[in-house]
Structures are given as structure tokens and as C-alpha cells.
Amino acid sequence: MINSEQIKNLAYSCGFDLCGIVSPDDIPEAQEQFETWLSKGYHGEMSYMAKEPERRSSPRQLMQGVRSIIMLGLNYYQPDSKELPSGYGIVSKYARGKDYHKVIAKKTKKLILEIERTSDGTKETGFRWYVDYGPMLERSYAAKAGLGYIGKNSLLINKDFGSWIFLSEILTTLELEPDNPYGIDHGQCGRCTMCIVSCPTSAILENGVIDSTKCISYLTIEKKGDISADLAAKMKQRLFGCDICQDVCPKNKAAQFTVHQEFVGGGVGEYLDPAIVERIQTREEFLALTAGTPLTRPKLDGLKRNAHIAATNARASKEKPVS
């Protein structure tokens, strides 16, 4: 029967940067924090987050007979250019290339096939996998698998890749040896509060707690309709997503450039001219620009709203008198 070390080697050979094994036991403290977060309305318009919340920290409700969870990670870091082109909108690092869901799905399917090929009798083994859209508190399980710790900005922080990590998981009926969550020293945030004080909308409330209704990533991607003038002004020229809390994090100073070219090419890139977006009139034109990338998420209306805000803030910045 295949063991945990073999699983990890197969994961690396399939292109994953991180792999850890964790048991499917519930994580009560993570569930309690999640339920408190929901009760305060911090999920905003993301109603899917509140659907059957107990399942998110109870993998046994997601898959009958699950015995182990294989936690996986991909580094997506790429540095920014030194200067922002005049009038352009900024695209978050994670969204500059191809849609990570599709990239990870391809690697995950390959990994499952390799596990079946390598291990006798696994044709009857069950597998179920998710790429962040599944009902799991994946960062809590990744931390329990020894892949990092959850920082004050709520993101998983790894000693090698910082917080620039896409997470995914495979639930399986295979009985695997779990990793020691403390087997690797990933450090801690300590007294550092740079992410908290640097957030322009004050969305980071306390250790690991985010008020999504103020988060620029939420506003530009998940929120429907208008964005309040106060929050829109604080978005500056961020057209899609936000990296501020990660850019200022000391744990990300030694971030490694991703080896996955799918995240670097094949998309809209680092900056996007708002005028291009504002001129789009049809769904076909919208897909011609965004197909195969994360920028399809807010749909045409949302992306045009973001482009208008970025353009407005860019003009305001140029018109602001020098003191």
C-alpha cells in the first residue's frame, strides 16, 4: 500500500510545491471562529459561505469513509513592476495569468492517476478533491498538515513561499500517516502588525479576522452593485483584487518567483487600461479579454465598475495639488 512519503514525491513530480498529510478530524476551534465570523456578517454577500457551515470543518460530512486528507500548495508569486503606468488599473498577482482553478485541477487529476498507478488495489480507493470553492476550512487543515501557520491577515504563511500560495486538497479513503503540524518551524507574526495598519480600508480587525465587506479583494471580485464612495476612494487604482497585506508582510521579503508559467502568462498581465474595459459592450468582447482567467468572476458589470473606479481615482491622484 502506498505511504505518505510516496504520496508527497508523486505530488512534487506532478508539479505541486507543497504537500502535507492530515487526518480528517474536525477542528473545533476553526469551526467556532468561522461561525463567529459568519454571525457578525463579515462574509458580506458571499451567501454560499453560510450554507451548511458545519461541513467546512467536518470532512467526514463531505466524503463517506474518508481517512486522510492530502493538502497541496502552489507558489504563484511574481514581482511587480517598479512603476504603475499612468491611468492604468492594478491586477492582483494571483489573477495575472491563467485561472488557477483549471491549472490545479489538471495537476490534481494527474496526481490521483499516479497514486492509483503506483499503489496496488487503489482502483477501489475513493478520492474527492477541491480547489478553494469546496466547503472546507482549507487553511486550517493546511496548517494542521504542517504547511505553514495562519497569519494576522488570515492567510497561510509558509517559510519558503510566504503567503503566495494556492491551496487545494484531496480527500481519500487511503489510510496515511499524518504530518506533525509542528515538524517545520514556519515562524510566527509575533508583534508585527504591518498588514493591519497598511490595509487602506481597515478590513483586518484582529488576528486572522477579516471583515470581507471592507476588503478590496471582496469589493472588486465578490460584491455586486455599487461600492460606497468612501471605500471606492480607498481602492486607489486596484482594478481586480488586492495584495497590500501581502506586499508589506516581512515573511514575504524572500518570496520565490513562481516556476509555473501559467500564472505569469496567458492572462491580462499586471496592469489593465480601464478604458479598454469601459469600452466593452458585449459578453463576447468581455470573454475575448478575460476568458480562461480569474477576471471573469465579477462579470462584465463588476469589471466595468472596477475600471471606472480605478480611472476616477487615477484622475483624482493626478489632479491632487502638491503640498
User: Quick one: pLDDT at residue 121?
Assistant: 54
Which amino acids are annotated catalytic?
A: 132
User: What average pLDDT does the chain have?
Assistant: 94
Rounded to the nearest 10°, the torsion over CA 184, 7, 28, 140 is: 60
Contact (Cβ atoms closer than 8 angstroms) between residue 212 and residue 46 = yes
Confidence of residue 34 (pLDDT cuts 50, 70, 90): very high
Please give the Cα distance from 80 to 123 (Å, whole number).
45
Where are the domains positioned within the chain?
4-77+98-172, 194-256+267-319
Comparing 65-69, 93-97, 143-147, 261-265, which segment has the lowest mean pLDDT?
261-265
Grid cell 505569469 — which residue?
264
Q: What is the pLDDT of residue 320?
A: 61
Give the distance from CA 297 to its chain's centroid: 14
Give the model confidence (pLDDT) of 46-87 as tens digits: 998 888 788 777 899 999 999 999 999 999 999 999 889 999
Percent of the chain whose predicted confidence (pLDDT) is above 90: 87
Give which of 203, 211, 277 is closest to 244, Cα–Cα: 203
pLDDT digits (tens, 9 = 90+) for 119-129: 865 556 899 99
Indicate if the pLDDT at residue 149 is higher than 90: yes
pLDDT in tens, 162-207: 999 999 999 999 999 999 999 999 999 999 999 999 999 999 998 7
Q: Which three cell numbers stand for residue 96?
A: 495575472
The residue with greater pLDDT, 291 or 322, is: 291
pLDDT tens-digit profile of 215-229?
A: 999 999 999 999 999
Q: Please give the single-letter amino acid code of residue 233.
A: A
**Position 323 confidence tier, pLDDT thresholds 50, 70, 90:** very low
| CA distance linking residue 50 with residue 56, whole number of Å | 10
Question: What's the whole-model pTM score?
Answer: 0.94
